[in-house]
Structures are given as structure tokens and as C-alpha cells.
């Protein structure tokens, strides 16, 4: 864990309006993947929050860790330890959906295993902030090398970072869901077009109606263990109008029994 000489410590640093504007701008640009965005969020916590020597940011979905990043190796190792053991302030924050703080790791008795690991890495205080945007939970963990240098109720900049971060990730999640929905709709329309074209070919070749043509496609789908759209694509490939213009006439198209064979 970085020591006091490695970065600014204590509560004497004043955050200016320009600082807040820069933070907001940088957080708004976090759209280049969860891991990189979490890493940026952790780095910003270290640079902007007085008393914070290292930070860890993680996203959880349905109680399972989805992505994580840290400003230094020590917080990442502490997070890994908690995931393995199922105990620690990070796990508690995710489970309860509320922030927690450890004013002095040396005196804290809630997570003895974690406290031992934290002390080995020079962590004397920590804060875990939680922002929930179902189904996502964002946890921003801050670590200090001096007792009582951090507190869940006394880190407004960190709270702002966590809120901005959760908003960014929620927007990205919504955008991704919208993209997936659009892709699914596009695929559905394309599949419907293929099926309708194949039905038209079968209606002409087999002298049947649309329902009978669809029944034929479904029967072939089950018999050959293929999707209906795959069977439809085979029908189009073999019996589409360009094939007929190559020399065959509608009367030359095989009857229903032989058509099944030709689709093999």
C-alpha cells in the first residue's frame, strides 16, 4: 500500500469547482468497457479523495462479481481474499446494499481474517460505498494508511464518484440492452422474410396454401433437426426463381415427396 509520502493525505485539501467539473467530464467518458472504466474510477478516487491511498471498484450482478479493477495490487488482493472466503467489508457491502467503514483496522473485530490481511498490506482504515441500479451493484472501496483518515459519512467526493460511476454503468447497461433488442428484432425480421419466401416457393411447387407450406417447413425442421429458417434457406437456394430461370419450368418442380428428398 502506498505510504503517506506517495500521495497527498489528510483532510486539508480543498476540492475546487474546476476539480468537480473535470471529474464529471472524465466519468462521463467511461464507456470503453467495464474493466477499463472501473480502473479509471479507482484511479480518480485516489487522486480526488483526501486520505485515500488506494481504491478498488467492482460491479456485482445478482450477488456475483462481474468486473473489478484496482489502483494498486493490494486492494485487488484483498478483494480476491474476500471473494474466496466470503467474508469482509466488500462482501458485507454487497450483501447488505449499504456502505460500511473501518476506522482502524487494528481495532476492528468484525472481519478478523480480512483485518489480518489488510494490516499486512499497511491498510489502517477503509470505506466501502455502495450504489445499486438493479440488477447491478457498484462498490467503490477506499483505503488509507492512517487510522480514521476515511469515513463513510465524510467522503463526499467519493460519494459523488460512486454516484456518477453507477449512472455511467447503468446507462451503458441500458444501451447494451437496447442494442441487443434491436439486433434480435433485426434477426427476427430477416428470419421471417426467409420463411415467407420459402413458403411462397412451396405454395407454388406443392399447390398448397400458406399454412400447409409452413407445416411442411416445420415437419422438415423436426425431421432433420434444423431450424425452420435453415430449412427455408435450403428451399430458397434450390427452388428460387433464379434456379427456375436456368431452364426448369414450374411443372418440373418435384412433388411433395420428392421435394423432401431434394432438400437433403
Residue 21 scores a pLDDT above 60: no
Q: How far is CA 32 from CA 26, 35, 40, 125, 159, in A?
A: 12, 9, 10, 31, 22
Answer positive or negative: Cα dihedral of 236, 241, 246, 252: positive
Peptide bond into 244 cis (omega under 30): no
User: Taking the model in full, what pTM does it have?
Assistant: 0.59
CA of residue 2 relative to chain centroid, distance: 31
| 253 Cβ neighbours under 8 A, 6+ residues apart | 204, 205, 239, 244, 259
Residue with cell 434444423: 226
For residue 139, the cross-strand partners are: 58, 130
Residue with cell 473501518: 102
Helices 34-48 and 156-206: crossing angle, nearest 10°? 170
Residue 68 scores a pLDDT above 60: yes
Residue with cell 455502495: 130
Q: What is the pLDDT of residue 19?
A: 54
Domains of the chain, by residue range, sit at 4-176, 183-262
CB 128 within 8 A of CB 139: yes
Q: What is the pLDDT of residue 12?
A: 40
Q: Return the CATH number of the domain spanning residue range 4-176.
A: 3.30.450.80
Q: What is the pLDDT of residue 245?
A: 38
Q: pLDDT tens, 192-232?
A: 888 888 888 888 888 889 888 889 888 988 888 888 888 88
- The whole-angstrom separation of Cα 12 and Cα 105 is 23
Query: What secondary structure letter does DSSP report for 60?
Result: E
Q: At 128, list the grid cell.
A: 466501502
Report H helices in the chain: 17-28, 34-48, 73-85, 89-96, 112-120, 156-206, 210-224, 228-239, 241-245, 256-262
Residue 17 or 166, more confident: 166
Residue 52 scores a pLDDT above 80: yes
Q: How far is CA 132 from CA 122, 127, 165, 169, in A?
A: 30, 16, 11, 11
Q: pLDDT tens, 108-165?
A: 999 999 999 999 999 999 999 998 888 888 899 999 999 998 876 666 766 777 676 6
Amino acid at each position: 500500500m502506498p505510504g503517506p509520502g506517495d500521495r497527498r493525505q489528510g483532510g486539508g485539501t480543498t476540492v475546487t469547482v474546476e476539480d468537480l467539473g473535470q471529474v464529471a467530464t472524465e466519468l462521463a467518458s467511461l464507456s470503453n468497457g467495464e474493466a477499463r472504466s472501473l480502473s479509471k474510477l479507482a484511479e480518480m478516487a485516489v487522486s480526488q479523495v483526501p486520505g485515500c491511498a488506494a481504491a478498488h471498484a467492482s460491479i456485482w450482478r445478482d450477488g456475483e462479481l462481474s468486473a473489478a479493477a484496482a489502483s494498486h495490487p493490494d486492494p485487488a488482493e484483498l478483494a480476491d481474499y474476500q471473494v474466496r472466503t466470503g467474508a469482509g467489508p466488500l462482501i458485507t457491502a454487497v450483501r447488505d446494499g449499504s456502505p460500511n467503514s473501518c476506522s482502524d483496522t487494528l481495532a476492528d473485530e468484525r472481519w478478523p481474517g480480512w483485518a489480518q490481511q489488510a494490516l499486512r498490506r499497511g491498510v489502517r482504515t477503509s470505506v466501502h460505498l455502495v450504489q445499486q441500479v438493479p440488477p447491478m451493484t457498484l462498490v467503490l472501496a477506499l483505503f488509507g494508511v492512517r487510522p480514521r483518515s476515511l469515513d463513510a459519512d465524510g467522503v463526499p467526493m467519493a460519494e459523488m464518484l460512486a454516484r456518477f460511476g453507477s449512472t455511467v454503468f447503468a446507462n451503458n447497461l441500458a444501451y447494451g440492452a437496447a442494442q441487443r433488442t434491436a439486433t434480435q428484432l433485426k434477426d427476427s425480421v430477416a428470419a421471417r422474410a426467409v420463411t415467407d419466401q420459402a413458403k411462397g416457393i412451396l405454395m407454388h411447387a406443392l399447390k398448397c396454401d400458406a399454412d400447409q407450406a409452413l407445416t411442411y417447413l416445420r415437419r422438415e425442421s423436426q425431421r432433420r433437426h434444423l431450424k425452420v429458417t435453415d430449412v427455408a434457406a435450403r428451399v430458397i437456394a434450390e427452388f428460387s426463381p433464379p434456379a427456375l430461370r436456368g431452364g426448369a419450368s414450374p411443372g418440373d418442380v418435384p412433388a411433395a415427396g420428392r421435394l423432401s428428398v431434394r432438400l437433403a
